[in-house]
Structure 1
Amino acid sequence: MRNKVIFFEVQGGNDKGADGYRKDTMPMVDALKERGMDAEVIFFDKEKEDEIYNYVSTNALAYVSRINPGNLKEEQAYFEMLRRLCQDGVIGMPHPDAMIGYGSKDVLVKLKSTTLVPDDTFAYYNMEDFKHQFPKSLAKGERVLKQNRGSTGEGIWRVTLVNPQEHQQEIPFDAQIKCTEAKDNHVEFWQLGEFIEYCEQYITGDNGMLVDMPFLPRITEGEIRLFMLSEKPVYVVHKKPAETENAFSATLFSGAQYRYDTPDQWSNLVENFLSELPQVMTLLGGYDLPLIWTADFILDTDELGQDRYILGEMNCSCVGFTSHLTLAHNVAEEILSIIKKNKTVTA
């Protein structure tokens, strides 16, 4: 009889506490048990995949994935097991294809038809397209390139022409460019063609890809992260880059300052984003929203001089909330609500 919620983790990684678990996992397990729902943690291991699959498909009402993909060598095997579990009727939080859709950087290209993303945003999956389009993109002004892999700003570059000229349709490969990496705001100077070749490392390999979008100068006012529980905004993190020359990174490592706000302090952003959510869900495959996820925004200005919020990225694979562990109770309530809703639908 299915009567459990299974939390998937993986052994090792720098996101674990002294007990070997993520610091925000056991609080959720305990909060579910307080509410009468059995819950446990299983560490995914490719060697034990069949055993894990059989146990979870037999005993679980739902699973909650708490694995950072960067800590998982057998990502495809893990996702395939999750797909099988969802096909068996286990409620996926999230479904693996929702995890991929909401967590990949090219989500921005998929959402260009919404008000959340600029029209001149591109994704490159091969060097030919990158070499063809990026010199044209750069002719329009400063750009940001984002690799699909990595974290904490690694492989995210602000690219600026050293000597911009008016009316250029395409930047020549020998043009000098200034490149600032979000990881630590360090600056490198390149010829455009050499930098394009350097970026091949981001495009090649499994899940290789680069996103190319306009640089938004108002990033210096801060990046705004919405922390979401399904369709409910819970809190907002305002991440202001360090006030030093060239700084545009909103990571703690780079010296950004974080402030925690309530959603009503950002009511315009929240209302606009929630109004777009139905279309976002449709464009990303029609899956249920992830259980715990974030959406990051940067301020821009529209043609009428009004504030506009541009989506920078979304994350849902393993969003942490170790600074707000009391949220475990909110998460437990949301899990129970999702299970109840699914039981009603399938009844």
Structure 2
Amino acid sequence: MKKHIVIFEVVGGTDKGPNGYRPDTMPIVKSIEKRGWTAEVIFYSHEKKDEILKHVSDTADAYLSRINPGNLTDEANYFDMLRKLYDNGVKEMPHPDVMIHLGAKDVLVKLRDTDLVPDDTFAYYDIETFKNSFPKTLLYGERVLKQNRGSTGEGIWRVQLVDQLIDVEAIPLTAKVKCTEAKDNHVEYHKLGDFLTFCEQYIKGDNGMLIDMPFLPRIKEGEIRLLMLHRTPVNVVHKKPANQKDAFSTTLFSGAQYRYDATSDWPDLVDLFISNLSTITNKLGNLDLPLIWTADFMLDTDKRGNDVYILGEMNCSCVGFTSELSLSEDIADEIISILAPQYA
């Protein structure tokens, strides 16, 4: 056992503090060192990829990726290096394939056979399928379209039919739709055909896709984010949209209000998610779950009037915990606990 952990960052980006590091990176380093281990931060660059690969393979038990993929100029090369580290026996936290599959919006479709996601959730990977299918799904009520790329609600649209239609098999392209973007809750009105053409941009390019799922009116009560430390729920962030007529965004930028709760305040949600961890692992190719990750839920009501929780997305690429830096102590303990069986 080398008792050494490498934390990957990248130079630049909006997630850095005055010292150039993410605000939650050095607390992890210090917590690891308090336990008699060593840790170092390495700023990844493609030019030094081979040098970094050799150094980390020779010195580290595990790597912890703390890079927002959006801050990388060459994500594929970074992921290639992480795969080689995994092949060289360096414990992955997380594996790049987990970042790709769990972070992509179509994980919702992959989990459609669970009780986490509605049956009428779809993924569109090509423009033709999208333009043929969405006018039919819109017939059954308000929908939400989510692009795979972007952040802070950009490219997430609530789509409502303005005038009710009857006895049609699909909404005509000339029908008027009301479109509200989660980025700032602004409203636009379009003919359906024009809006579909606008949305082509989300499908084109690498990793382009659109997720189509039912709009849940109870989003007005808030989105519930479950913060996970490996397999353990840590806390819950309740994110309530701004008190405006069309608001459904839960980002701080849009005026949402955040409240931090204990997991004991949400026992049904925690039990639901924990019971599905093995299924999620299987869907990720039986790779280990991330060290720090989140799952976002919305409330819905079943036919009996009971509350149910609907998964909206998951994220593990670089989940921050700057509002609770003391969590670094638990993170250090969990890293060592994960590695212990390898050296027993």
Under a length normalisation based on structure 2, what TM-score does the superposition of the two structures give? Answer: 0.98
Q: Aligned residue for 1:122?
A: 122
Inter-CA distance 290–167: structure 2 relative to 1 (3 Å threshold): farther
What's 1:158 paired with? 158
1:110–1:284 CA contact under 8 A, matched in 2: no
Give the whole-Å Cα distance in 2 for the aligned partners of 1:210 and 1:343. 44
1:227 aligns with 2:227: yes
Question: Given the alignment of the two structures, is residue 36 of structure 1 paired with residue 40 of structure 2, yes or no?
Answer: no
In the TM superposition, 1:168-207 aligns within 5 A as 168-207=168-207
Q: 1:204-223 counterparts in 2 under 5 A?
A: 204-223=204-223
Q: Which amino acid aligns with 1:12?
A: G
Cα deviation, residue 113, structure 1: 0.6
Residue 199 of structure 1, CA deviation: 0.8
Which amino acid in the other structure matches residue 214 of structure 1? P
TM-score normalised by length of structure 1? 0.98
Q: Does the Cα contact within 8 Å between 1:218 and 1:300 map onto a contact in 2? A: yes
Counterpart CA distance in 1 for 2:283 and 2:303 is 26
Look up the match of 1:280. Answer: 280
For residues 333 and 55 of structure 2, the distance between their equivalents in structure 1, rounded to whole angstroms, comes to 25
Q: Would you say the 8 A contact 1:24–1:325 is kept in 2?
A: yes
1:4 Cα offset (Å): 1.4
User: What is the match of residue 329 of structure 1?
Assistant: 329
Distance 1:237 1:92 in 2: 27
User: d(CA) in 2 for partners of 1:224 and 1:193?
Assistant: 34
CA distance in structure 1 between the aligned counterparts of 2:148 and 2:18, rounded to whole angstroms = 30
Secondary structure of 2:269's counterpart equals helix
1:251 aligns with 2:251: yes
Residue 155 of structure 1 aligns with an amino acid whose one-letter code is G
Counterpart residue identity of residue 254, structure 1: S
Q: Deviations over 1:280-328 (max 9, x none)?
A: 1112211111000000000001111110000000000000000000000
> In the aligned structure 1, how far is the partner of 2:88 from the partner of 2:172?
54
Code of the residue aligned with 1:323 in structure 2: it is: S
Q: Structure 1: how far apart are the matches of 2:168 and 2:117?
A: 24
**1:49 maps to which residue?**
49
* % identical aligned pairs: 63
Matching of residues 121-140 of structure 1 within 5 Å: 121-140=121-140
Deviations 1:106-134 (A, max 9, x none): 11011001000001111111101101111
Alpha-carbon separation, structure 1, partners of 2:303 and 2:89:
48
**SS class of match (1:113):** coil
Aligned-pair distance for 1:272?
1.0
Shift of 1:276: 1.1
Cα displacement (A) at 1:26: 0.5
Cα distance in structure 2, aligned partners of 1:95 and 1:65: 9
- How far 1:72 sits from its partner (Å)? 0.7
Following the alignment from structure 1 to structure 2, what is the Cα–Cα distance between the partners of residues 220 and 115? 22
